[in-house]
Structure 1
C-alpha cells in the first residue's frame, strides 16, 4: 500500500491564514532535424574529446569524508539543470546564469589574489572534490581536475605569490617523482600544501595526506573508490548525479562518541547507548536534477550486529501511513507523518516522568500512561498538519492519531481539559460544547484566554482515529477529508511530489510551498508586502512543493528528498 494514491488532479485553493511572524509543419520538421543533428554532434564531441578525471585514483582509502561535484555532468543533467534555473527571474538565460556564477566565484577567490575568470576557469576540468581525514587535527584536501596543465600550474604559482601566500615560509620537495610545495605558517598552525598530479590540482593542509594521494595515484596505497564500504554505499545511490557526498564510519564513530561525552558535561551516558554509534558503517548522499525539480537521496548503512535488540526490531517493523494521510485535508499547507508516533509520545512521557515524580503521577491521572492509558492503545501512525482556517485569521492545525481504543483517547483529552479549568491555565471560566459534524461529535473548548487569540481547541474520535485541532474547523476538515476528493491524496502538487519519493515510507514531510507562500503574503502588513512582492515572491514563484520520505531496513536508513520546480 502506498503513502497516497495519486488520483486525478483536483485543484485546491488555500484560504487566508493568520498573521504570522503555429508554425508550418515543414519548417518545424526542419528545425527538429537540425536540433537532432546538433544534439548528436554534441554527444559525440563529449564522448570522444573529454578526458577522464583522475580524482577517483587520487583519494586515499584513509579519507573519512569525500564530497565530489561533477562540473561536466551527463547531457540530461545539464539540460535539466539549465531548464530549472531558467525558471527563476534572475537566471532566465544561459548568459545570465553563467554571469551570476562567475561573479560569485570571482568574489570568493578575490581574497586569495585570484580571478576565477582569468586564473581558474580556463583550465577548470570536469570534477572538483574535497576529502578529509578525521583526527585530532583534521586533514583536508581539495582536488580539482584540470584540462590545461600549464595554466593550472600558473594558478598555483600565483596563489603562492599572493598576499596570503607570502606570509608562509615555502619549501619545495619531491616525493615519488612528484613536486610538492609546503607553506609553513609562523604560528605553528597547519601548513598549506599543494601539488600537481595526474592533471589534478591538489591543495591541502597536511603534507602526509598529499603524499598519500600521490601513493594512491601510483597504486602504492589503497584508494577510497576501491574500498568495499564505498562501493556498497554508491550502489544504493543514483549514478547520474550532480553531487556526491560520502562519509565512512571507523574513526568517525569514535569522534562522535567523544563529542557526546564532552557535551554531557560529565554526566554518565550509558555505554550500551554509546555503543549503538558503532553500528554506523557509512553515509552516502547524491543530488540530481530532474525535469521537474531537484532530487536527493541519502543512504545510511548500519551494522545490525552492533544494534541492540529493540532497535533491530524497530528497523524492520513497518505500518502504512496511508490511513492517516487519507485524512489530511487537500488544502493543507504541509504535514509531517510518522509510523512511530506511539514511540515518540512514549519517549516524551518517559522523559517527563523521569524528570519529576509529580509529572509521572499527573500523566497517569490524566489517563495518558498507566493501565488503560491512551498511550497503550496508540497503534503507531500519526500526523500533524497545518492549513488555512476559515474561522480564524490564523492558519490552524490538527494532530491525527491512530488508536485502537477511542474511549481511552477521549478520556485523556477530557481529563486534560478539566485539569486546565480546575486550577490550570483556563481559570477565567469556560465551557465545553458539542457539535455534530457528519455524524461525529466534535467537542470544543470555549475559553476567553484562548478565543481572544483565535483558538478554540477541539477534538473528536472517529473510527480508528483521534483528532485534536486548534479550532473546530480544523477537526471538521480532517473528518471531511475522509471523502477522497477532499484528501491531500487528490492534491495535484502532492501527487507530483509523491511520484519522486518513496511510495510507502515510515515517515514523510510535505510542504506546499506555493500555497504556504501565498498565505504568508496575505498576512504581511502593506509596507512589508511591497518588498516581499519585489524581492521574495519572484524567486519563490517557481517552487511548488517539497517532500521528504524516510524508510528503514535491517541494515540501513534511506531518505529521499524532492523539491518540485515549475
Structure 2
C-alpha cells in the first residue's frame, strides 16, 4: 500500500462519505432524477465479504422535499459549499456536476470491505521505534457502485474525463471486462469498470474492482449473504428515503473493524462477546413534513439479550413545565441497574469500580443498590429548565429529576439520610409550602436554595437543583411540556409505544449557548450558528416489541425555509 494511505478506518469511510455527501449536497439544491429501488441490484455487484453497505437514492421527490427546510442563512451556506465544490471539480478539466454527472448517475451504493490478507511486500518498513504490530494494520476497503441511467451521458463523461489535461488513463482486461485506471498528476490512481452497461464500480484499489467483477461473474454477492436479502428488500420504512444502511452481520463487522484498528488488541474479550446479542442492523434516513427522520432496526438474539425492556406511558412528562429545553425519560431504572450489576460479573475492572462506589456510599450510610437505585422502579425523567434567579443566575438553568415509585417509604428514608448528610456540612435545611406541596430546601446564605426535593403526588418525587426549578415543578399552574407546541413538533410524531424520550429544544438551547459565548467572549462561528439556527430540535425514542427486535427513531426537526 502507498505510504501516504492511512491505516485507520475513519479516513477511509470518511472519504466515501465526502464523495457521497458531495453528491447529496448537490441533489439537495438542484434536485436529481432517479429512483430508490436499486439497492438490491447494486448489492448484487458487491462481494459477499462486504461488512456493510449504504445506498443513497437519487429520487427527485425525496430531495426536493428537503428543500422546504432551512433558514436563509443555512441555504446560503449550503449554496456556497456547493459552489466551492463545483469550482474544485472544474478547476482542472471543466467538469460540471450539473452537465456531466447528474444526467447519468442513478443510485449510489457505498460498500465497506475488510482489509485484504496482507503480504509482507505490501507494507513499508515500520518507522524506528514504532510498534510493528500497529504499523502493519490495514484499513478496510471501499467500493462504490453507481447506477447508470443514461448510457450515452455516461460515455460522454468518461471521454471528457480521459481528455482532461494532466490525467492519465490506462485500460486493462480482467475476465473480459475493462478496468480503467485514472490518475491525475498529483493524485493517487483510481480504478473503475462498467458492468452490463448499467453500473459503474469504482474503488481506489484495483483488487476491489476485480472482486466486483468476480461477483458480477457469479461469485457470492452481498445481496445473497445470509440476512442481507431480507433487509435489502424491505429496507427501513421512512418517507422520502434519502439513504439506507445495511449491516447483515453486525458482530462479524465489528470484529473485523476492531481487528483492523491499531487498538484492536486492547479490546476486552467479554466486550466482543456482547456483540453477539445483535445479529443484523438496518437504518434509513428520510425527510417528511417535520424534518429529517432516521429509523434503525436491530435484529437481536433473544437468548443472549439480557436487557429488560419496558414501555413507558410517559405521563411523567406532564410534571415538567413547557419551558423545559432538554429531557430524558424512561422506565424502570432499578431493573436496568440489576442488569448492569449482573453483567459486571464478566468485567473484572468494572466490577471492582462498582464495589468501590458501593464502599463510598456506605461511608455516608447509603446502600447503593437499595437506597439509591432500588426504589426507582417506575417512570423517571431528567430535565433542564431555564432560570436566571438565585444560585442559577450565573448559568441560566437548573436540573430536575422526577421519579414515580412503588416504594415511597424507602425513597423518603433515602432523602432523609441526604438531608442529615447536608446538615453535617453546615447547610441550612428548611421546609416551605409551594403550591400546596411541602418542599425541603438546602439553603445557601444570600443565594437561596441550592437543592430541593418534595412529593408531587403520592407516588411521584422530585429532586431539583435551584429553588426556581422546584417552584416550577411544584406550582404546576402553567402549560406542561407534553402539551407544548415545541414538544409536539419535536417529539410528538415519534413512534408509540416507546421506552421513553430524549428531547432537545434547539431554540432555548441556543439562547444558553449564545449567553455562554458572550460571557467567554468566544462567539459561535457564523457557519455553525446558521446550521444550528435552522434546527428546531432533536427527538429520540426507542422500543422493543419483543426480545428479538429493537427499534430506534430519531427526528431532527427543522425549521421551514422562509426564503422568498
Q: Normalization by structure 2: what TM-score?
A: 0.73
Give the match for residue 453 of structure 2. Answer: 459
Deviations 1:52-99 (A, max 9, x none): 79634422333211112123x152x233112124x433527xxx96x5
3-state SS of 1:332 partner: coil
The range that moved more, 409-418 or 359-368, is 359-368
Note the 1:433-448 alignment, pairs <5 A: 433-447=430-444
Match of 1:105 in 2: 85
Query: Contact 1:184/1:191 (CA < 8 Å) preserved in 2?
Result: yes
Q: CA deviation at 1:324?
A: 2.1
**1:471 and 2:496 equivalent?**
no
Is 1:202 aligned with 2:201? yes
- Report the Cα offset of residue 500 of structure 1: 2.5
Contact 2:56/2:107 (8 A) holds in 1: yes
Are 1:248 and 2:240 an aligned pair? no
Match of 1:431 in 2: 428
Please give the secondary structure, in 1, of the residue aligned with 2:241: coil
Partner of 1:31: none
- Tell me how far apart the structure 2 counterparts of residues 229 and 368 of structure 1 sit (CA, whole Å): 49
- Taking a change above 3 Å as real, the CA distance of residues 51 and 252 of structure 1, as seen in their structure-2 partners, is closer
Q: Give the alignment of 1:368-517 within 5 angstroms.
A: 368-369=366-367, 373-391=371-389, 392-393=392-393, 394-422=396-424, 426=425, 429-447=426-444, 456-462=450-456, 463-481=458-476, 486-517=479-510
| Pair 294,476 (structure 1): closer, same or farther in 2 beyond 3 Å | same
State how 1:238-317 maps to structure 2 within 5 Å: 238=237, 240-249=240-249, 251-255=252-256, 258=259, 262=263, 265=266, 269-270=269-270, 274-305=272-303, 307=304, 310-311=306-307, 314=308, 317=309
Partner of 2:55: 68
Partner secondary structure for residue 211 of structure 1: helix
Q: Contact (CA 8 Å) 2:453, 2:462: kept in 1 or not?
A: yes
Distance 1:370 1:383, change over 3 A: closer
Q: Which runs of 5+ in 1 are unaligned?
A: 1-44
Structure 1 contact 369–376 (Cα < 8 Å) conserved:
no
What residue number does 1:29 align with? none
Q: 1:52 to 1:549 in 2, by over 3 A?
A: closer
Matching residue of 1:88: 72
8 Å Cα contact 1:123-1:151 kept in structure 2? no
Shift of residue 374, structure 1, vs aligned partner: 4.1
- 1:478 alignment partner, SS class: helix
8 A Cα contact 1:140 1:204, kept in partner? yes
Q: Which residue of 535, 553, 556 maps to 1:543?
A: 535
Structure 1 residues 508 and 358 mapped into 2: Cα distance closer, same or farther (>3 Å)?
Answer: closer
Structure 2 SS opposite 1:456: strand
* SS in structure 2 of the partner of residue 150 of structure 1: helix
Ranges in structure 2 where 5+ consecutive residues have no aligned partner: 1-31, 117-137, 560-564
Contact 1:502 1:549 in 2 (8 A): yes
Over 3 Å counting, the alpha-carbon distance change for 1:345 and 1:212 in structure 2 is same
Aligned residues: 484
Q: Separation in 2 of the partners of 1:555 and 1:111? A: 52
C-alpha separation between the residues in 2 aligned to 1:184 and 1:78? 32
Query: 1:333 — aligned with what?
Result: 325
Measure the CA separation in 2 of the matches of 1:535 and 1:285. Answer: 29
- Please report the RMSD computed on the Cα atoms of aligned residues, expressed in angstroms: 4.0
Higher relative contact order (CA 8 A, sep 6+): 1
